[in-house]
Structure 1
Amino acid sequence: MNDLRLPLLGAGAWAGALVGPVVVEGGRVGAALLMLLAVVVGVGGGWAIRRRAATALALALMIAGSAVVAGLHAARVSDNPVADLAARKAQVRVVATVTTDPKEVTGEHATYQLRRASVREVSGRGVVYRLRTPVVVLGDDAWAEIPLGTTVSTTGRLRASDSHEESALLIAAEPRVVAGPGVWWRASEKLRGSIRDAVAHRPPDQAALVPALVDGDDTGLSDDLEDDFHTTGLTHLLAVSGTNLTLVVGFLLIVARWAGVRGRGLYAVGVLGILGFIVLARTEPSVVRAAAMGAVGLLAMTHNGRQRALRGLGAAVIGLLLIDPGLAISIGFTLSVLATAGILLFGPPWRDALRRWMPQWCAEAIAVPAAAQLACTPVVAAISGQVSLVAVLANLLVEPAVAPATVLGLLGGLFGLVWDPLGMVAGTIATWCVAWIIAVARFGADQPTAAVGWATGPLALAVLVAVCAAIAFLAPRVLRHPVTGAAGCLVLLAVALVRLPSPGWPPSGWVLVMCDVGQGDALVVRTGQGSAVVVDAGPDPDLVDDCLDRLEIEDVPLAVITHFHADHVDGVEGAFAGRRVGELWTSRLQDPPEGVRVLGETAAAAGVVPVPAPYGVTTSIGEARIQVLWPTGETDTRGPGDGSTANDASVVLLVESRGLRLLLTGDIEPEGQDQLADDLAGLDIDVLKVPHHGSRYQDLAWLRTLRAQVALTSVGAANDYGHPATATVQGLEESGTKVYRTDRDGSVAVVESGGEAAVVTQ
C-alpha cells in the first residue's frame, strides 16, 4: 500500500497557499479566523475518526500554516513603499539586482525587454527607502545586455502590479551598472556560453535545442518548431524540468561511482550536483521547482524508491510552497507535480502489466511517458483547449535520444572550457541526437489529428478528468494481455494518423466561419459551394489552410487583408495554397513593411495583384453582398506608422448574406470606430467581429449601439495581450450580445435560423 500521508499534507499546503492571499486581502482578522477554523475542523475530524486523529490535525494545521505564510508573503509584497509609490504612479530612482534573463515582449505599440529584479533602494516623492522586494522591469534593448546578478541604478515610473509576486511594474530608463554579478553567476554564464559555442556550427534548430535540453534556454528556437513541440506534447523538453536534473545529476552520480565514491559521498555529490544545476539553469522559481521534482525522481531510483519518492513528493510540495507560495498558481509547478505523481502512481502497475509480455526496459519506456502525459492531460486541455493524440507516441520515440543529447550537450560545454575542438565533437554528437527529436516533433505535428480541440468549460473538463481516471484504472487490465494491449496501441496509432471527421462540421448552410488560428484573425464568408471570401489569414499558414480544407474551399474569388500586422497576414500562403484566388484587397496604409513584403511575395506567386480596398464600393459575389466602409480614400497610403495607426487603417466590411448582416472590423481602434458611427447609425447588426481581438481599446458605447446578436472574438489561448479584455466582454454581454471566442470554442460557424444568427462551434 502507498503511504499517502505526506502527499496529503502537500495537498493541504497547496490549498492553504491558494486561499492565504485572498484572506489577507480582507485583513489580519480573516487570517486568524481561518487558522482557528482549520484547527477546529481538524480536531473535530480527528475526534470523529479516532485512528486518523493525528493525520487530520496535521492536515488542518498544514492548511492553516500554509495559508498564513502565503498571506504574509502576499502582504510583504503588496504592502511596502514600492507598492505605495506604484499606486501613485510615482517617478522614482531605484537600485536593484537583476534576477532573471531578458525576455522580449511585444506590447500594443512597442517591443520591450522584460526582466525581474529585486529592489534594494528606492527614492521617490522626496523619501529614500531601503528594502528588498521584487519588481518587473520593462525597458529598452539596453536591458538585454545586463548580465544576470548585476546590480544597477535606473530611473522610471512605477505602475501597480496585479500579481501577488511583484510589488510593482517599473517602466525603466537605461540602466547604469553599480556592481557586477557574483563569481557563481560569472561561472554559470561561462559554462552556458561554452555549451552554445559547442553546437554553434550546427543547423539553427539543432543548435538551439541542445541548450534547451541542458539548461532550459529556448530563446533560439524558431516559432514553428515550438508550435510543433506544443502539438506533440514535447514542450517539457524546452523548459527546465525535473527530467533535466535527473539526467544531469544521475550522470554525475554514475561518474562518481566509477571514481570510487560510495555512501555519504554519493549524497554529497548529488547535493552539489543539484545546487550546480540550479545555478546553471538560473535560480528562478521554475528552476527550483524542477530541481525539487528531479530530486524526487532520483529518490525513485533508490531501494524502495516508489514509497520514498511519494513521501519525497509530498515533502517537496510542502517545502516549495512554504518558501514560495506563489507556486500554488504556477502552471509549470502544477504540471511538474502532476507528471511526477502520475509516474509514481500509474507507472508501476502499467509497467508490471506490460512486463508480462515484453522486456522490462521496453515496458518502462512505454509506461513512464504515458503515465506522465495522462496525469497532465486535463490541465493541458484547460490551458490550450486541445488534447494531443500523438503525445504518448512522440514521447516514447524521443526518449532514447533525450538522455544522450542532454549529457553530451553538458559535456560539450565542459570540454569546451578546456579545448574548443573537443567541445565541438561532443556538441556535434548531441545535435545528431536532437535531430531525431526534431524529426519526431515535425512528423507528429503534421498528422491530421495530432491534436483535437477540447472545450475548457467546467463540465467538459470534468468529463476529461473522468475519462483519464477510467483509463488509469483500466490500463493495467488491458495491457496485461498481449492481444488487448497491442489492439489498444493500434487504436491509438490509427486515431493519431487518420483524420476523423468533425461531427456536424461544417454545419449545413453556414454563412460565416471564424477559424481558430490562435492569436490572429481569419474569417471565411461563404459565397457558394466550395467558394468563399477570405478575410485575413491569421499568423500560421498551416492553421488557416486546415480550416479552409475542412470547409472544402477550393475557390477564393476575393481575399481581403485588413491590415499588415503579422497576426492577420503571415498565414496568407496557407490561405492561397492549392486554391484559385481572384482579387486581393488590402489596407491603404502600407505598413508595417515586413507584412507588406510577406503579402507581396505570396501574391506574386499566386498571380494576383494587391490593391487598396475601394472605399464606398458595394460588390456581390455569389451569396454575399460586400460593402467597404473603411478606410476612406483620404487615409495615408505609406508607412511608417505606429501599431495603433496601422490598426485604425484596417479594412472594415459590411456583409449581407442569407438575410444576415455581418460587420467585420479588423483591428480598428476607438478613433476609427467613432468615424464609423454615423455610417452605421440605426443599422442593426446580426454578427459583429469584435475589433482588435476584444482588446480594452474600444468605444463600448458604439459597440452597444450595434445591438449585435452574436459577437466573435479570435484570440489565442493564454495570450500575452490580455485579449479579450474582461470589460469588453462584459460590455457586450450586458447589452444582450452572445460572445464567442476561439480560445474556448474553437472555430465558430454562423448559420441563419428563422431569420436570426445561430452559432455552431467546432
Structure 2
Amino acid sequence: MPALALAAWAGGLLAALLPWWATGVVALAGTVTAVLRRSGALLAAVLVLAAVGAAGLLRDAQLQRAPVAELASARAVVTAEGVVTSDPRPTTGFEDGVAVRVTLREVTGRGTTYALRSPVLVFADAGWEDVELGSRLRLDGRLAPAEGDDLAATLAVGGSPVVVAPPDVWWRGAAAVRASLREAVAHQPEHQRALVPALVVGDDAGLDPQLAEDFRATGMTHLLAVSGTNLTLVVGFLLVLGRWCGVRGRGHYVVGLVGIVGFVLLARTEPSVVRAAAMGTVALVGMGVDGRQRGPRALGVAVVVLLLLDPGLATSVGFALSAVATGGILLVAPGLRDAMARWLPRWVAEAVAVPLAAQLACTPIVAGISGQVSLVAVAANLVAAPAVGPATVLGLAGGLLGLIAAPLGRVPGTPAGWCAAWLVEVAQRGAALPVPAVGWGTGAVSLGLLTALVVALTVVLPRLLARPATGIGCCCLVAVLVLVRLPTPGWPPAGWVMVACDVGQGDALVVRAGKASGVVVDAGPDPALVDRCLDRLGIERVPLLVLTHPHADHVDGVAGVLEGREVAEVETHADAAYGSTRVVGDATLQVLWPPPGHTVENPNDASVVLLAEVSGSRLLLTGDVEPPTQLALARSWPGLQVDVVKVPHHGSRFQDTGWLLGLGAEVALVSAGADNDYGHPAPETLAALSATGAQVLRTDRQGDLAVVVEDGALGVLTTR
C-alpha cells in the first residue's frame, strides 16, 4: 500500500504539472513493462497512477471547460442557485465583506440555463457573515475567473442573501455544538476563548494574528488548524467514554465511525478537514494492536483514496505535510522511543519521540516553503503537549454539555481555557527566543542537502539518544543554538536602495532615504513582521509612508511601521498627486497612478504606482494594479523603462504581459506568502519574466530581498 500511495501521488503530479498526454505515455510504458516482467505489483501501481492521473485531468477539464468557467471568462452577469460549503470569512477587500465557498447547482447566464456542480468563491458584503453552512441560496452577481486551481470562478454579489432552503438537520446540529463551544469559553480572556475552538474543531475566527504568528514561529501552527491530532484526541476520548459505558468488541468500531463522521461535520467537510480525518484515522490504527504493521498500510490506503477523490491534493503542501508527518510518527517514532526508554520513563520517551519524528519528517518540506528550519519546534511541542489533550477534550465536553444548559458547559470550559493559556504562554515565550528558527535556502541543492541531513539524523539519533550522556548533550546543543543569537554579518547590505520585506501574503517595501531613514510603501498584513524587517534595516525615521490601496494585506501592518519610529507623513491613493515629483532624502519619487477623479470597480486598480530613483537606479512600485490599469499606464507613460519592478499583485497570472515585459527590468521582485491560497505567484508570470533575462526573486522563497547598487552595478541580496 505505501508503494501504491507513491504511485497515486505520481499520477496526481503528472496530471497537474505536465501536458495531458504525459500521463498516458507513462501509464502505457508502465503497463508494457509490467506485462513483459509479469509483475502484478507493478501493474497495480500503474493502474493506480493512471486512475489518479485520469481523475486529475477530468477534474481540471470540468473546472476549466465548464459553463461557469466560460461565463467567468466573459465576466457575465448571472443568476444562480447553490449550496454553501464553507463558513463565511472576512475578506481583505476595499470595504468590509466576506468570502464564502458555494457549489453552484444551477446557473442562468447569457440566455441559457445550466444544471451543474461547480465550486465558486462568492464575494459579498458584511451582511453575509451569518450565512449558514449547508443552506441553499439564490445568487445574482458577476462571474470572474478564479486564480485557485480548485475553483471554477469567483462571483461578486450585492445585497442580502436570499435563502431558498435552510441547512439539513446534521448541519444545524453541528452549528449548535460549535456555538455552544464558543459560549462555554466566552467568559475566558481573549486568547483563550479564541484558541479553544481552534483546538477542538479548527474554528480560529477571532484569533489574534500576532498570536498566530507566534504559533507559526514555534512550529505549533498545526494546533490552530484541523489536523489528525484533533481527530485522534476527540475520537480517542469517545472510545474511552464508550468503554466506560460498557461498549465492547465491534461496538468500538461503531463509536469510532460515529466520532469520525461527527468530527468532520463539526470541523466542516472542506478538503483540509477530510484530509485530517483520514490521517487521524491512520494514527488511531497505528496506536492499536499490531500498529507498526497495520499503520503504514492504513496510511497507504488513506493516501490512495484521498487522491482518487481529490487529485488536486497531490500538489497541496498541507496534504504533503500531513502524510509525511503521519509516516514519520508511524515509522521513525517507535525507534526513537525505544532508544530513550532505556534510561527514561516510557511515557516521557514517547512524548519526546512523537513530535521529534514528525518534525524530522516535515523539515525538508517546511524549509522548501518557508526557507526556515525551526529550532524550537520539538521543544515547544513537547512542553505544550500535556495541555493539548485536556484543552481539546474539555472544550468538546463544554460544547456538548452546553447544549443542555449554557452554565453547565462552562464547567469544563473553564479548565479548557486554563490549558489554552499554557499553550499561549509556550508560543509567546518560544517566539521571543533569540533564534527560534534559522534561515535555509529553497534551491534544489539546499533542500537536497537538508534531506540528506534529515535521513542521516534519522539513522544516527536512536544511537545518540540511547545513552544518557549523548542524549542530554544533544539537548544542550540545541538549547545553546536557540538561546544564543549568532551574529548575521552583512545585513543590511552596503549600498542597498530598496528592500522587499518578507511579510507573508502582502506587500511592504522600503526605499532608502538616508542613514536610518526610509520611505515605506505598504505595511503588509502583520505589524510584527514589518516591524522586524525595519529593525533589521535599522530604520528609525520614516519621512513618508505610502499606502497604495486599503486592502488588509497592504495596510494591516501599519502599527508595526509606527512602532518606535518617527513617521512624518502618510499618503494614500486618495491624496497622491498624479504626475507629481518630490525628493525625499536620497530618493526621488514620481506618482504615475491614479489620475485625478479616477474611479474603478476593482480597488486593486486604484493602487498608487510610484517610480523611484535612488543612486541612479529606477524602481517601479506597482501595488496590485491589474491588466486594465497596466494598459492605461502603458498609454499614459509610453516607453517607460526601469531597472527594477515590483511585480503587480504578488505575481498573479492576471498581467498585461506586453506592458510588464516591455519595462525592460533587470530585476523583478515578487512579494508573496508561502503556500498562500491564491496560487501566487503564477508560474506563467514568473516564466514570462525569466524569459526576458530578468532576475526573478520572491519573498516566500528567499526572505527579504535587497536591491543594491555598488560601483554602478545592480544586484540583489537576500536573507535566505
Moved more, 490-499 or 239-248: 490-499
Distance 1:678 1:95 in 2: 41
Aligned twin of 2:131: 146
Q: Among residues 512, 529, 540, which one is paired with 1:525 in the alignment?
A: 512
Task: Name the SS for the 1:418 alignment partner.
Answer: coil
Q: Cα 1:128–1:238, aligned 2, differ >3 Å: closer, same or farther? A: same
Q: Among residues 179, 184, 189, which one is paired with 2:170 in the alignment?
A: 184
Distance 1:84 1:668 in 2: 25
Q: Which amino acid aligns with 2:707?
A: V
Distance 1:38 1:738 in 2: 39
Task: Name the SS for the 1:308 alignment partner.
Answer: helix
| Kept in 2: contact 1:613–1:628 (CA 8 A) | no
Whether 1:630 and 2:591 are equivalent positions in the alignment is yes
Deviation at residue 738 of structure 1 after TM alignment: 2.3
Deviation at residue 478 of structure 1 after TM alignment: 1.4
Aligned twin of 1:334: 320
Whether 1:37 and 2:24 are equivalent positions in the alignment is no
| Kept in 2: contact 1:78–1:164 (CA 8 A) | no
| Kept in 2: contact 1:513–1:748 (CA 8 A) | yes
Deviations 1:549-577 (A, max 9, x none): 43445x53734435574555554554455
Distance 1:123 1:631 in 2: 41
What TM-score do you get using the length of structure 2 for normalisation? Answer: 0.89
Identity %: 49
Whether 1:304 and 2:265 are equivalent positions in the alignment is no
- Residues 40-119 of structure 1 mapped to structure 2, 5 A cutoff: 40-44=32-36, 46-47=37-38, 53-78=39-64, 80-86=66-72, 89-107=75-93, 109=94, 112-119=97-104
Moved more, 76-85 or 148-157: 76-85
Deviations 1:243-270 (A, max 9, x none): 1111111111111112222111122211
Q: Which amino acid aligns with 1:655?
A: V
Q: Cα 1:585–1:405, aligned 2, differ >3 Å: closer, same or farther? A: same
Q: Cα 1:543–1:23, aligned 2, differ >3 Å: closer, same or farther? A: closer
Distance 1:690 1:160 in 2: 20
Aligned twin of 1:231: 217
Deviation at residue 25 of structure 1 after TM alignment: 4.3
- Larger relative contact order (C-alpha < 8 A, sep ≥ 6)? 2
Aligned twin of 1:654: 613
Deviation at residue 181 of structure 1 after TM alignment: 1.4
What TM-score do you get using the length of structure 1 for normalisation? Answer: 0.84
Whether 1:585 and 2:569 are equivalent positions in the alignment is yes
Task: Name the SS for the 2:673 alignment partner.
Answer: coil
Aligned twin of 1:745: 702
Deviation at residue 381 of structure 1 after TM alignment: 2.2
Distance 1:141 1:537 in 2: 25
Q: Among residues 536, 543, 546, which one is paired with 1:561 in the alignment?
A: 546
Whether 1:257 and 2:218 are equivalent positions in the alignment is no
Aligned twin of 1:755: 712
Distance 1:397 1:199 in 2: 23
Aligned twin of 1:543: 529
Deviation at residue 304 of structure 1 after TM alignment: 1.3
Q: Among residues 121, 125, 128, which one is paired with 2:106 in the alignment?
A: 121
Distance 2:610 2:171 in 1: 51
Distance 2:140 2:536 in 1: 53
Deviations 1:659-697 (A, max 9, x none): x42436363858998999899988975445556655677
Q: Among residues 126, 137, 144, which one is paired with 2:122 in the alignment?
A: 137
Aligned twin of 2:180: 194
| Kept in 1: contact 2:611–2:618 (CA 8 A) | no
Distance 2:492 2:187 in 1: 48
Q: Which amino acid aligns with 1:667?
A: G
Deviations 1:353-410 (A, max 9, x none): 1111111111111110111111112222222232222111111111100000000001
- Residues 278-317 of structure 1 mapped to structure 2, 5 A cutoff: 278-317=264-303
Moved more, 519-528 or 477-486: 519-528
Task: Name the SS for the 1:92 alignment partner.
Answer: strand
Task: Name the SS for the 2:133 alignment partner.
Answer: coil
Aligned twin of 2:475: 489
Q: Cα 1:645–1:131, aligned 2, differ >3 Å: closer, same or farther? A: closer
| Kept in 1: contact 2:593–2:610 (CA 8 A) | no
5+ long unaligned stretches in structure 1: 1-5, 48-52, 592-610
Distance 1:718 1:153 in 2: 33
Aligned twin of 1:50: none
| Kept in 1: contact 2:35–2:43 (CA 8 A) | yes
| Kept in 2: contact 1:154–1:175 (CA 8 A) | yes
Moved more, 698-707 or 516-525: 698-707
Q: Cα 1:651–1:125, aligned 2, differ >3 Å: closer, same or farther? A: closer
Q: Cα 1:75–1:683, aligned 2, differ >3 Å: closer, same or farther? A: closer
Distance 1:32 1:727 in 2: 24
Aligned twin of 1:599: none
Deviations 1:273-311 (A, max 9, x none): 112212222222222221111111111222211111111
Distance 2:254 2:334 in 1: 29
Moved more, 168-177 or 346-355: 168-177
Q: Cα 1:588–1:167, aligned 2, differ >3 Å: closer, same or farther? A: closer
Q: Cα 1:282–1:513, aligned 2, differ >3 Å: closer, same or farther? A: closer
Q: Cα 1:668–1:158, aligned 2, differ >3 Å: closer, same or farther? A: closer
| Kept in 1: contact 2:606–2:625 (CA 8 A) | no
Distance 1:542 1:128 in 2: 49
Whether 1:422 and 2:417 are equivalent positions in the alignment is no
- Residues 382-393 of structure 1 mapped to structure 2, 5 A cutoff: 382-393=368-379
Q: Which amino acid aligns with 1:520?
A: D
Deviation at residue 491 of structure 1 after TM alignment: 1.6
Q: Which amino acid aligns with 1:746?
A: G
Task: Name the SS for the 1:387 alignment partner.
Answer: strand
Deviations 1:111-135 (A, max 9, x none): 6533333333333444444344444
Point out the structure with max Rg over C-alpha: 1
Whether 1:643 and 2:603 are equivalent positions in the alignment is yes
Deviation at residue 548 of structure 1 after TM alignment: 3.9
Distance 1:199 1:741 in 2: 41
Task: Name the SS for the 2:255 alignment partner.
Answer: helix
Moved more, 274-283 or 422-431: 274-283
| Kept in 2: contact 1:562–1:587 (CA 8 A) | yes
Deviation at residue 110 of structure 1 after TM alignment: 5.2
Deviations 1:568-604 (A, max 9, x none): 555455445556x4x723326567xxxxxxxxxxxxx
Q: Which amino acid aligns with 2:33?
A: V
Aligned twin of 2:397: 411
Task: Name the SS for the 2:108 alignment partner.
Answer: strand
Q: Which amino acid aligns with 1:148?
A: L
Distance 1:181 1:268 in 2: 26
Task: Name the SS for the 1:357 alignment partner.
Answer: coil
- Residues 204-215 of structure 1 mapped to structure 2, 5 A cutoff: 204-215=190-201
Deviation at residue 423 of structure 1 after TM alignment: 0.7
5+ long unaligned stretches in structure 2: none
Distance 1:68 1:697 in 2: 28
Q: Which amino acid aligns with 1:756?
A: A
